[in-house]
């Protein structure tokens, strides 16, 4: 089963242009806050109408502006999970689940099955306000499961949680989507969450979707500056192709890449943990001065100024093990290197 989306929609000053396909395995819709993730999911679920385009599931139109098809939400069989879960406050857990079952004669049986499946038997008669956060999520997932959706949409499901709660809830959510045999779109701004749970990713930048790629490719070859930033790259700077190398004017540094350099290259990305203290004899080495040292929870962040850099050039961020930094003899003047395979070529 495949869910195909090809729509255009204006939301305030943002013009959405989304083209993506979700099939087997969970597809991440990765974008910053305000990039249009929620608007796209609402269009798929039928809670908002695109200006034009098509939304298809297994070749059948849910929305088609050209053929004047626009199925109501209840006919689309799309399960949507939002951060607050949108449980009915006046209904019990079992009542919330039963409300999602279309055929009234089946409500009792299906809700009992869901209570067992999602380990909610002891909470069946509780109202949402009496539940723990984990029980609330389980109730929302049980209700979604009971509706027998053709596809599942997760709209920043963990965004409002602290790190302690988030870990356990993410495991429950991950188990659910792995057991679901239809398309799943997981919208998030958290690259770690995406990498742990989604084999493929569609980056959304300023309302425009990029091609669907693997989560591994997002880390190693993001392709665009926006994708690199969303993947967690902290060093992004202007670059100029120079024969078979890359010149970074602001740093006065020339670097070699392990990959063919595209003629339209304008920027490069360097991950902070791939900047290494090294010996001058290695490839892509240059001298730097330490400008600032920041002790993080489990690492040390060192801000570096390349010795050939212009006065207003951005600093190079290096992140390394705290003990490695602690045992570095000269913490003022260093030689660092960046592996040719570690340079992200961006446009």
Q: What is the mean pLDDT of residues 78-87?
A: 90
Order of strands across the sheet with 245-248?
240-242, 245-248, 253-256
Give the other-Cβ count within 10 Å of 316's Cβ: 25
Q: What is the mean pLDDT of residues 117-135?
A: 94
Phi-psi region of 4 (alpha: psi -120 to 50; beta: other; left: phi over 0): beta
Of 199, 189, 263, 276, the C-alpha closest to 229 is: 189
CA–CA dist 176, 75 (Å, integer): 23
Q: Say if residues 118 and 141 touch (Cβ distance below 8 Å).
A: yes
Helix (H, G, I), strand (E, B) or coil at 36: coil
Q: Say if residues 304 and 334 touch (Cβ distance below 8 Å).
A: yes
Q: What single DSSP character describes residue 123?
A: G
Question: Rounded to an integer, what is the distance from CA 315 to the centroid of its chain?
Answer: 27
Q: Across all residues in the chain, what is the average pLDDT?
A: 93
pTM above 0.95, yes or no: no
Per-residue pLDDT tens for 317-341?
999 999 999 999 999 999 999 999 9
Least confident of 4-13, 55-64, 87-96, 272-281: 272-281
pLDDT at 162 over 80: no
Q: What is the mean pLDDT of residues 84-105?
A: 94
Least confident of 22-26, 196-200, 292-296, 299-303: 22-26
Q: Looking at the chain, how many residues does it have? A: 347
pLDDT of residue 167: 82
Q: Residue 241: beta bridge partners?
A: 246
Q: Which two tokens stand for residue 260?
A: 């063919």
Q: What is the mean pLDDT of residues 151-175?
A: 84
Is residue 59 packed enough to be buried (19+ CB in 10 Å), middle (13-18) or exposed (0-12)? exposed
Q: Say if residues 249 and 295 touch (Cβ distance below 8 Å).
A: no
Using the Cα atoms of residue 155, residue 160, residue 163 and residue 167 in order, give the sign of their dihedral.
negative
pLDDT of residue 169: 84
Q: In which band, very low, low, confident or very high, does the pLDDT at 160 lie, cut at 50, 70 and 90?
A: low
Domain ranges of the chain: 3-222, 233-346
Q: Which two tokens stand for residue 110?
A: 């299906």
Which residue's entry shows tokens 């059948």?
60
Per-residue pLDDT tens for 35-74?
999 999 999 999 999 999 999 999 999 999 999 999 999 8
Q: Which two tokens stand for residue 66?
A: 């050209």
CATH entry 3.20.20.70 includes domain 233-346: no
One fold for 3-222 and 233-346: no
> The domain at 3-222 falls in which architecture?
3-Layer(aba) Sandwich (3.40)
């Amino acid at each position: 089963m495949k869910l195909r989306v090809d729509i255009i929609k204006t939301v305030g000053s943002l013009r959405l242009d989304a083209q993506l396909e979700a099939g087997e395995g969970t597809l991440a819709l990765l974008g910053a806050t305000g990039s249009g993730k929620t608007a796209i999911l609402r269009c798929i679920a039928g809670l908002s109408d695109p200006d034009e385009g098509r939304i298809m599931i297994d070749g059948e139109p849910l929305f088609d502006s050209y053929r004047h098809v626009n199925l109501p939400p209840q006919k689309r069989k799309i399960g949507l999970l939002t951060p607050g879960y949108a449980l009915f406050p006046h209904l019990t857990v079992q009542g919330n689940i039963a409300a999602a079952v279309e055929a009234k004669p089946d409500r009792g049986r299906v809700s009992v099955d869901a209570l067992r499946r999602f380990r909610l038997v002891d909470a069946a008669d509780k109202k949402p306000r009496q539940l723990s956060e984990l029980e609330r999520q389980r109730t929302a997932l049980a209700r979604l499961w009971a509706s027998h959706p053709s596809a599942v949409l997760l709209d920043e499901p963990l965004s409002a949680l602290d790190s302690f709660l988030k870990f356990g809830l993410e495991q429950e959510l991950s188990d659910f989507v792995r057991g679901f045999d239809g398309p799943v779109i997981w919208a998030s701004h958290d690259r770690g969450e995406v990498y742990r749970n989604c084999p493929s990713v569609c980056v959304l930048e300023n309302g425009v979707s990029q091609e669907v790629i693997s989560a591994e490719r997002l880390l190693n070859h993001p392709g665009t500056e926006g994708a690199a930033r969303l993947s967690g790259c902290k060093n992004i700077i202007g670059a100029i192709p120079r024969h078979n190398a890359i010149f970074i004017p602001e740093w006065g540094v020339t670097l070699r890449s392990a990959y063919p350099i595209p003629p339209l290259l304008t920027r490069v990305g360097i991950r902070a943990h791939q900047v290494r203290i090294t010996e001058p004899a290695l490839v892509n080495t240059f001298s730097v001065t330490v400008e600032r040292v920041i002790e993080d929870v489990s690492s040390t962040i060192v801000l570096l100024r390349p010795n050939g850099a212009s006065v207003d050039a951005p600093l190079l961020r290096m992140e390394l093990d705290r003990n490695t930094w602690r045992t570095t003899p000269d913490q003022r003047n260093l030689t660092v290197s960046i592996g040719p395979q570690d340079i992200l070529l961006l446009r």
